[in-house]
Amino acid sequence: MKPQDVKQIKESVRQHYADRIKTDESCCSSLTCCPDTKMDSPAEKNGYTKAQISSIPTDAAEHSFGCGNPLEYMDVQEGDVVVDLGSGAGIDVLLASHLVGESGRAIGIDMTPEMIERAQQNAREAGARNVDFRLGEIESMPVEDESVDWIISNCVICLSPDKNKVFEEAYRVLKPGGKLVVSDMVANNMPRWARAAVSAWVSCISGALPEDQYLDSMRQAGFEHVQVLSKSAYAKIRQVEVASVKVEAVKPA
């Protein structure tokens, strides 16, 4: 991808999510991430339990822009450090903060200042003192080498124009033996022209890689035991099949 295209995608993604949070939208776009019925809140649709939803401020739960619940199968321990890539309004960081306790830390990284501000506001409302929201890009994470036990992410890496770099950075900041657990979008049969459609990119569609390419990119960064924990069909737009997947990978000890 040309540098000017990377710049344009990043700027469009940043603007899109700044607009979503400023106008209090609770889903990514009408193409994806919106609840199917008025009965389901976005957080419920994304697989969070009622207990999880009621344990965090309403604003954080209502602004669930993800496509899964990355904390679902995780064995996070008290004292662990968890980093969430593309933390949005803070839903997964605030949930992780309960698991890591006072001796641990939950850190969110997001490149959209409006999202960071909202997440900080939600953390203040939650009274969470073990959280930290950092403005930055996940292709060059503001996090020290080998300082993290877990990396999580929820519907964000598909938005990056340089997924290899994201996985290399995740590998750099994880401690040996640390785990990456992500919920994300993958897509098959994406025509070449559709990759250039910025409106579909910001909605988590045209930036989504085919599943095998996504998993290979993790392996190339050095991760082992790369496995799909769950997968569900998300949308079919013409011939393009979009699915949400939950993937786990381990940095060798």
Ligand X SMILES: C[S@@+](CC[C@H](N)C(=O)[O-])C[C@H]1O[C@@H](n2cnc3c(N)ncnc32)[C@H](O)[C@@H]1O
Report DSSP state, residue 111.
S
- Across the beta sheet with 174-188, the strand order is 131-135, 105-110, 81-85, 148-154, 174-188, 240-250, 224-237
> What residues between 162 and 221 interact with ligand X by CB under 6 A?
none
**Residues whose CB is less than 8 angstroms from the CB of residue 49 and which lie 6 or more positions away in sequence, other chains included:** none
Q: Nearer Cβ to ligand X, position 111 or 245?
A: 111
Q: Select the span of 83-91, 121-129, 142-150, 170-178 touching ligand X (CB under 6 A).
A: 83-91
Choice between 62 and 224, CB closer to ligand X: 62
Query: Per-residue DSSP letters for 17-58?
Result: HHHHHHTT--SS-SSSS--SSTTS-HHHHTT--HHHHHTS-H
List 81, 107, 156, 221, residue binding ligand X (CB under 6 A): 156
- Residue 59 sits in the site that holds ligand X (CB under 6 A): no
For ligand X, the binding residue among 28, 107, 205, 209 (CB under 6 A) is 28
Of 20 and 78, which has the nearer Cβ to ligand X? 20
Q: Quick check: 79 and 103 in contact, CB under 8 A?
A: yes
- For residue 165, the minimal CB distance to ligand X (Å) is 9
- Residue 141 as a binder of ligand X (CB under 6 A): the answer is no
Report the alpha-carbon distance of residue 126 to residue 60 in Å, rounded.
Answer: 10
Q: Does 244 bind ligand X (CB under 6 A)?
A: no
Q: Which residue has the tokens 């009965």?
A: 39
Q: Is 47 in the site for ligand X (CB under 6 A)?
A: no
Candidates 27, 56, 100, 115; binder of ligand X (CB under 6 A) is 115
115 or 208: whose CB is closer to ligand X? 115
When the beta carbons of 22 and 225 are compared against ligand X, the nearer one is 22
- Going through 4-156 in order, the beta strands assigned E by DSSP cover 81-85, 105-110, 131-135, 148-154
Residue 17 in contact with ligand X, rule: CB under 6 A: yes
| Minimum distance, C-beta of residue 11 to ligand X, in the bound complex (Å) | 11
- Give, as ranges, the residues between 86 and 105 that touch ligand X (CB under 6 A): 86-88, 91
Nearer to ligand X, 208 or 215 (CB): 208
Q: Please report which helix (H) or strand (E) contains residue 176, including its range.
A: strand 174-188
Region of 97-105, 155-163, 210-218, 229-237 interacting with ligand X (CB under 6 A): 155-163
Vertex 204, ends 200 and 207: CA angle to 5°? 75
CA distances from 4 to 10, 197, 201 (A): 10, 15, 15
Site residues, ligand X (CB under 6 A): 13-14, 17, 28, 64-66, 86-88, 91, 109-112, 115, 137-139, 154-156, 159-160
